[in-house]
Structure 1
Amino acid sequence: MGRQTRPAVEWLAAAATDPRSCKRQWHGESGIAVLACGRFWDVLSVPEDLGRQTLDALLCLPQAPGPVLVDTAARRVAFFLPPDPEGRWIGTGIRYAGQGAWIAVPAPHRAAGRLCWLVPPDGTGALFVPAAVELALQLGMGRLAEHGGARRRCPTCGEPAERPRVHSGGRPG
Structure 2
Amino acid sequence: MEWLAAASEDPGACKQEWQNGSTGVALLAAGRFWDVLIVPEALGLRVADLLEELPLLDRGPCLLDTRRRTVGFLLPPEPQTVWIGTGVRLLGAGTWIATPAPHCRWGALRWLVPPDGTGTLNMPEVLEMALQRCASELSRTQGHPAPAACATGGRVRP
Say whether the 8 Å CA contact 2:80–2:157 is kept in structure 1.
no
Number of residues paired by the alignment? 153
Q: In 1, Cα distance between the equivalents of 2:146 and 2:36? A: 26
| Gap regions ≥5 residues in structure 1 | 1-8, 153-160
For each residue in 1:112-143, what CA deviation from the matched residue of structure 2 results, as whole angstroms up to 9, or x when unmatched? 75201100001011001101000000011111
Q: In 2, Cα distance between the equivalents of 1:18 and 1:162? A: 40
Say whether the 8 Å CA contact 2:25–2:98 is kept in structure 1.
yes
Q: Residue 6 of structure 2 corresponds to which residue in structure 1?
A: 14
1:75 matched to 2:66? The reply is no
Q: Residue 168 of structure 1 corresponds to which residue in structure 2?
A: 155
Larger Rg: 1
Q: In 1, Cα distance between the equivalents of 2:124 and 2:115? A: 17
Identity of aligned residues (%): 50
Q: Which runs of 4+ in 1 moved over 4 A?
A: 161-164
| Gap regions ≥5 residues in structure 2 | none
Instruction: Give the number of the structure whose residues are more often strand, by fraction.
Output: 2
1:25 matched to 2:12? The reply is no
Tell me the SS of whatever aligns to 2:112.
strand
Say whether the 8 Å CA contact 2:43–2:147 is kept in structure 1.
no
Q: In 1, Cα distance between the equivalents of 2:34 and 2:157? A: 20
TM-score (norm: length of structure 1): 0.83
Q: Residue 117 of structure 2 corresponds to which residue in structure 1?
A: 123
